[in-house]
Amino acid sequence: MNVNQSAPPVPPFGQPQPIYPGYHQSNYSGQPGSAAPPASYGAYNGPVPGYQQTPPLGVSRAPPSSGAPPSSTAQAPCGQAAYGQFGQGDIQNGPSSSTVPMQRLPGSQPFGSPLAPAVSQPAAVLQPYGPPPTSAQVTAQLAGMQISGAMAPAPPPSGLGYGPPTSMASASGSFPNSGLYGSYPQGQAPPVSQAQGHPGIQPPQRSAPPLASSFTPPTSGGPRMPSMTGSLPPGQGFGGPPMNQPNHVSSPPQALPPGTQMTGLQGPPPPMHSPQQPGYQLQQNGSFGPGRGPQPNYGSPYPGAPTFSSQPGPPQPLPPKRLDPDAIPSPIQVIEDDRNNRGSEPFVTGVRGQVPPLVTTNFLVKDQGNASPRYIRCTSYNIPCTSDMAKQAQVPLAAVIKPLAMLPPEEASPYVVDHGESGPLRCNRCKAYMCPFMQFIEGGRRFQCCFCSCINDVPPQYFQHLDHTGRRVDAHDRPELSLGSYEFLATVDYCKNNKFPSPPAFIFMIDVSYNAIRTGLVRLLCEELKSLLDYLPREGGAEESAINVGFVTYNKVLHFYNVKSSLAQPQMMVVSDVADMFVPLLDGFLVNVNESRAVITSLLDQIPEIFADTRETETVFAPVIQAGMEALKAAECAGKLFVFHTSLPIAEAPGKLKNRDDRKLINTDKEKTLFQPQTSVYQTLAKECVAQGCCVDLFLFPNQYVDVATLSVVPQLTGGSIYKYACFQVENDQERFLSDLRRDVQKVVGFDAVMRVRTSTGIRAVDFFGAFYMSNTTDVELAGLDANKTVTVEFKHDDRLNEESGALLQCALLYTSCAGQRRLRIHNLALNCCTQLADLYRNCETDTLINYMAKFAYRGILNSPVKTVRDTLITQCAQILACYRKNCASPSSAGQLILPECMKLLPVYLNCVLKSDVLHPGAEVTTDDRAYARQLVTSMDVAETNVFFYPRLLPLTKSPIESTTEPPAVRASEERLSNGDIYLLENGLNLFVWVGASVQQGVVQSLFNVASFSQITSGLSVLPVLDNPLSKKVRGLIDSLRAQRSRYMKLIVVKQEDKMEMMFKNFLVEDNSLSGGESYVDFLCHMHKEIRQLLS
Ligand SMILES: [Zn+2]
């Protein structure tokens, strides 16, 4: 773990910095007082009357079986929780006023995030203009094209005709017109400089630039977004440096589908292409066609593929051509370009509707009135004004919101605003919170709500004069008037039962059945907890965590432990009546770690001994959660349960499950039942947990089917996390489990939370995706919400929007901090609105679209056959692209595939979603694996879904050893692998090192400490620690990748041509998959066919 002690920037406000628990402790060895020898079972004295004190030892039980639960057929599915009801409810985050004084926690604490630091890479800066080329079209002719030897007539040079954007238009990032490509050669400053003219903090609403649609194309009927190839004038360079990928070996290119002919690009070539950089410039500019061959002139055909034109003509009897994978849009190229174009200057949020840099770009954010993209990312930053337009385009309007996201240390965390006993100022009608978009009028005595237009009085204590521009003179001194994100201290009116909350509690609930003991899990866990308990989340520089802890062990019965500090030894109380769970002790169950340290240590020493000889293989599950929840209820606090569980709960108890796994259901209409919970018990239980603010994190250690779909219901609905370690063995899985556990226990988490997303008139939030519960149609209830959890919100029109006022979002999260402080975190974001479809397509973000579409599809399989869900995705994607083609692209042959620049990766990424294990499982993928992946994706942010669906493949031996930067990635395809090199692949959950069969012996020796390729152990999970530059570099890279991800990635070494290589190849997502998933090239042809059908 990384320790970051750097202080945040000095806050410009007279407010304290927000109180963040920093992870200052970097290791937890040497914990004192843990050396007590394990006591015998007899130490657990003091039975409570009425409770059976059952020593597990000597209990006569059947010999341990393998633990296999009885098999049975699938049970009738239960309905999903009540999501998806739309409408405006009345429930708010809290009342609008208050009379109770607020307490404030002392001081602030420097922000640090050593667990998942973004600090491993240098701070990036970005260009305030946004990438120059975001709207050039991607063109290609994939199918049905006629090929001729003649130069194609260039489309109207409309890109040129647009000329440089006027004044601030480009600042919005909203119309990097294709003309810009030609206009701003690399390294040359864009002609417009006013984009930066927002040094001060201004409400974006006022400082918003003119809408992109306001400038005029040269010819009225001309295309607004002409194809790249048509718009590039001779002699003009490209916006970004050409990128080459020298790292791949060519392998036989894929053949086109029948009836498809390879065609070249249309239009005059950009002359800066050089023969040394085959092919890539095309992608660079969003166009694709044949990549190989003479570049300086597209007119010069590469062998066998003459320049194509859009002129209709009889098909020529050419042999089937191959589509060069280099000629289709490359994710690597797009990522590289964005890094180069936008990674060098901060992203300043003062301008409405700016598309932020990609999630794969490192950049700093300056909050000047809109929430940072680390908190909110949108599928589009320019929303169609009417629902008709939105329906026509089919582009989902969604925001991916991560309310408690960790920020890099260089960025200021949200300031905490304390309005004292009056509480936060809100609109009387819609209850929106004070924000930079509110309009003060009548000399400052009133303000007009930017969401509902209601005129509100300004309370006397909040009154301030306005300056000559109508701004309050104190706007710069108040976060809520100048920033996109900030927090309010909540008054008692925002608290349950009008009482300030108690600090939360953590309860550790440990399965001690035969399997848990046998694998060494219980011993490992207890040993770890002894030190880990010193690292519970803290706040405000507090000496110790305010969180109390409790312990339960269980198999068929539950064992509660009294660890009161005054006891000499812990006491155990057994509850065997699991049908009617209750908590047998209140005093001494939840304790302060420091006060009870000796007793807790003694308990953790004894637990593995007590159950060492257990024969019990059966477990219960629902009663365990019930018990934890009841304990929190009794203590009148929120909290989190950490449940460590090994098997299908088949013991007689509520929530008992049977093995209903049935692979025969795959690809049938009943496949959905595999993902539905097999009983409603867990939904009911989850609801009770949410009401109590009881979040459940589940660690699973299954040897076989455990019905993840059912067991995950409670974690899913309570905002918890699930971790799965199949066939857990201490030797192999210890590092991964302990790393995950440490992060999970220490991470910042809010409790008992309610999130509400308000919007300005015209759109509203209609659907929500993530780990939470909803009892009405508007309030997202989260028993717990940690820094990694993301909620995706979809919006629909309910009225007409207008270009002038744009559209506003306000996300308000009411939560209890880990010190027990009630707070409101507010994020505001202003978007542009457009009357031209082209503006929509210029301001989309494909990574966010994919995040939404994956979540939409993964939820859809609960109710529809998987094939239907896949077809729906394909159709929607085709409609999006067809609408663009029809309304925004320059007229051209139907044989030409034209993609909007911002969406040129939509096909490749969507294909990755379609062929993912959840939607297209291979034979080796279990039902539990699928249910698990489904749950994980539900809460992922955009960066996580991006790398999860399109893994990162890094060559390890290409770049010089001295190079300190991360090697440039290559495309996820087998043909990019050279058998003389070693590669690293990661997708956020898995990490592979692939070794080519012809790697030099010296390299093998340096990395694996063996003499030859054949001696490398396949499946190795640790690289030997060797004292040479290559070994250090590779291990350092692995460490850095692991630090970037929210879960520990287990390493697997895979050798070329080895059996295990199949597993690895599954992640080469541009290729055909073993399960029948299409290659990128095939899918692109498929998509093109769909689009043509829609257009004809
Ligand atoms: Zn309002």
Tens of pLDDT, residue by residue over 697-755, are 999 999 999 999 999 999 999 999 999 999 999 999 999 999 999 999 999 899 999 99
Instruction: Read off φ and ψ for residue 828, nearest 5 degrees.
Output: -115, 145
Query: Which of 70, 44, 47, 48 has the alpha carbon at shortest distance from 661?
Result: 70
Is 592 in the same domain as 719? yes
Surrounding residues of ion ligand 1, Cβ less than 5 A: 427, 429-430, 432, 449, 451-452, 454
276-285, 362-371, 615-624: which has the minimum mean pLDDT? 276-285
Task: Please say which residue of 835, 853, 888 terminates a domain.
Answer: 835
Is 855 in the same domain as 898? yes
Can you give the CATH number for the domain in which 615 is found? 3.40.50.410
Alpha helices in 588-654 (DSSP H): 597-610, 622-635
Task: Please say which residue of 339, 366, 393 terminates a domain.
Answer: 366
More confident residue, 652 or 62: 652
Does pLDDT of 486 surpass 50?
Answer: yes
CA–centroid distance, residue 93 to ligand 1 (Å):
14
CA–centroid distance, residue 786 to ligand 1 (Å):
29
DSSP string, 458-525: PPGGG---B-TTS-BTTGGG-HHHH-SEEEEE--GGGSGGGSPPPPPEEEEEEE-SHHHHHTTHHHHH
First to last CA, the chain: 57
Mean pLDDT of the chain: 78
Query: Which of 638, 644, 768 has the alpha carbon at shortest distance from 690?
Result: 638
- What is the mean predicted confidence (pLDDT) over 39-45? 35
Question: Quick one: pLDDT band at residue 896, thresholds 50, 70, 90?
Answer: confident
Task: Specify the pLDDT at position 52.
Answer: 43
CA–centroid distance, residue 209 to ligand 1 (Å):
24
Q: How many CB atoms lie within 10 A of CB 615?
A: 16
Q: Apex CA 938: angle with CA 935 and CA 941, to 5°?
A: 130
Is 603 in the same domain as 740? yes
More confident residue, 34 or 180: 34
> Distance of CA 807 to CAs 482, 487, 803, 840, Å?
18, 22, 9, 13
CA–centroid distance, residue 797 to ligand 1 (Å):
18
CA–centroid distance, residue 171 to ligand 1 (Å):
29
Is 396 in the same domain as 531? no
146-150, 589-593, 615-619: which has the minimum mean pLDDT? 146-150
Can you give the CATH number for the domain in which 783 is found? 2.60.40.1670
CA–centroid distance, residue 403 to ligand 1 (Å):
22
CA–centroid distance, residue 456 to ligand 1 (Å):
9
Does pLDDT of 106 surpass 70?
Answer: no
Does pLDDT of 857 surpass 70?
Answer: yes
CA–centroid distance, residue 807 to ligand 1 (Å):
14
Contact 186, 251 (CB under 8 A): no
What is the SS3 assignment for 308? strand
pLDDT in tens, 490-530: 999 999 989 999 999 999 999 999 999 999 999 999 999 99
Question: Quick one: pLDDT band at residue 958, thresholds 50, 70, 90?
Answer: confident
Task: Specify the pLDDT at position 93.
Answer: 58
Name residue 477's amino acid: D
Beta 455-457 vs 446-448: how paired, if at all? antiparallel
CA–centroid distance, residue 761 to ligand 1 (Å):
9
Alpha helices in 805-865 (DSSP H): 837-842, 846-860
Q: Provide the Cα torsion 756, 761, 767, 773; round to 10°.
A: 20
Is 578 in the same domain as 721? yes
Domain containing residue 362? 331-366
Is 740 in the same domain as 792? no
CA–centroid distance, residue 781 to ligand 1 (Å):
22
CA–centroid distance, residue 451 to ligand 1 (Å):
5
Which residues, 6 or more positions from 651, have their beta carbon under 8 angstroms from its beta carbon?
A: 555, 556, 578, 618, 619, 620
Task: Specify the pLDDT at position 455.
Answer: 98
Question: Quick one: pLDDT band at residue 44, thresholds 50, 70, 90?
Answer: very low
| Cα 120 from Cα 1, distance rounded (Å) | 11
Give residue 842's Cα distance to chain centre.
23
Is 955 in the same domain as 1027? yes
Is 440 in the same domain as 468? yes
Is 683 in the same domain as 719? yes
CA–centroid distance, residue 812 to ligand 1 (Å):
14
Residue 306 belongs to some domain of the structure:
no
Question: Quick one: pLDDT band at residue 92, thresholds 50, 70, 90?
Answer: low
- What is the mean predicted confidence (pLDDT) over 587-616? 96
Query: Which of 1026, 1000, 854, 971 has the alpha carbon at shortest distance from 280?
Result: 971
CA–centroid distance, residue 168 to ligand 1 (Å):
29
Indicate the DSSP class of residue 305.
Answer: B
Question: Quick one: pLDDT band at residue 900, thresholds 50, 70, 90?
Answer: very high
CA–centroid distance, residue 3 to ligand 1 (Å):
43
| Cα 394 from Cα 877, distance rounded (Å) | 8
CA–centroid distance, residue 433 to ligand 1 (Å):
8
Is 457 in the same domain as 565? no
Task: Specify the pLDDT at position 160.
Answer: 32
Contact 856, 396 (CB under 8 A): yes
Does pLDDT of 976 surpass 90?
Answer: yes
How many independent structural domains does the chain possess? Answer: 5
Residue 533 belongs to some domain of the structure:
yes
pLDDT in tens, 523-567: 999 999 999 999 999 887 788 899 999 999 999 999 999 999 999
Does pLDDT of 987 surpass 90?
Answer: yes
CA–centroid distance, residue 441 to ligand 1 (Å):
15
Question: Quick one: pLDDT band at residue 342, thresholds 50, 70, 90?
Answer: very high
- Tokens for 512, please give them: 């001690």
CA–centroid distance, residue 805 to ligand 1 (Å):
15
Task: Specify the pLDDT at position 967.
Answer: 86
Task: Specify the pLDDT at position 962.
Answer: 81
CA–centroid distance, residue 187 to ligand 1 (Å):
46
Can you give the CATH number for the domain in which 937 is found? 1.20.120.730
Task: Specify the pLDDT at position 1096.
Answer: 85
Beta 382-384 vs 138-141: how paired, if at all? unpaired
Residue 1029 belongs to some domain of the structure:
yes
Element (H, E) at 690: helix 681-692
pLDDT in tens, 785-811: 999 999 999 999 999 999 999 999 999
CA–centroid distance, residue 436 to ligand 1 (Å):
13
Task: Specify the pLDDT at position 214.
Answer: 27
Task: Specify the pLDDT at position 325.
Answer: 82
- What is the mean predicted confidence (pLDDT) over 959-965? 80
Q: How many CB atoms lie within 10 A of CB 284?
A: 27
Residue 347 belongs to some domain of the structure:
yes
CA–centroid distance, residue 412 to ligand 1 (Å):
28
Residue 429 belongs to some domain of the structure:
yes
Task: Specify the pLDDT at position 1034.
Answer: 94
CA–centroid distance, residue 447 to ligand 1 (Å):
10
CA–centroid distance, residue 431 to ligand 1 (Å):
6
Residue 53 belongs to some domain of the structure:
no
Question: Quick one: pLDDT band at residue 321, thresholds 50, 70, 90?
Answer: low
Task: Please say which residue of 317, 344, 366 terminates a domain.
Answer: 366
Task: Specify the pLDDT at position 765.
Answer: 97
CA–centroid distance, residue 428 to ligand 1 (Å):
7
> Distance of CA 144 to CAs 155, 287, 314, 890, Å?
20, 18, 10, 19
Percent of the chain at pLDDT exceeding 70? 71
Q: How many CB atoms lie within 10 A of CB 1043?
A: 18
Contact 914, 874 (CB under 8 A): yes
Residue 964 burial (C-beta neighbours within 10 Å; 0-12, 13-18, 19+): exposed
CA–centroid distance, residue 452 to ligand 1 (Å):
4
Percent of the chain at pLDDT exceeding 90? 65
Is 806 in the same domain as 731? no
CA–centroid distance, residue 94 to ligand 1 (Å):
15
CA–centroid distance, residue 899 to ligand 1 (Å):
40
Task: Specify the pLDDT at position 541.
Answer: 74
| Cα 336 from Cα 969, distance rounded (Å) | 9
Task: Specify the pLDDT at position 283.
Answer: 31
- Report helix, strand and coil shares of the chain as percent, to nearest 5: 30, 15, 55
Indicate the DSSP class of residue 970.
Answer: B
Name residue 292's amino acid: R
pLDDT in tens, 1009-1056: 999 999 999 999 999 999 999 999 999 999 999 999 999 999 999 999
CA–centroid distance, residue 89 to ligand 1 (Å):
14
Tokens 């940072």 identify what position? 372
- What is the mean predicted confidence (pLDDT) over 650-656? 96
Buried/exposed 358-372: b ≥16 CB within 10 Å, e otherwise: bbbbbbbbebbbbbb
Task: Specify the pLDDT at position 322.
Answer: 59
| Cα 746 from Cα 24, distance rounded (Å) | 11
Does pLDDT of 226 surpass 70?
Answer: no
Element (H, E) at 561: strand 558-562
Is 823 in the same domain as 716? no
CA–centroid distance, residue 765 to ligand 1 (Å):
16
Instruction: Read off φ and ψ for residue 973, nearest 5 degrees.
Output: -145, 145
Residue 270 belongs to some domain of the structure:
no
CA–centroid distance, residue 207 to ligand 1 (Å):
21
Query: Which of 710, 703, 751 has the alpha carbon at shortest distance from 622?
Result: 710
Element (H, E) at 1094: helix 1080-1095
Query: Which of 788, 20, 780 has the alpha carbon at shortest distance from 402?
Result: 788
CA–centroid distance, residue 437 to ligand 1 (Å):
11
Residue 1010 belongs to some domain of the structure:
yes
Task: Specify the pLDDT at position 748.
Answer: 87
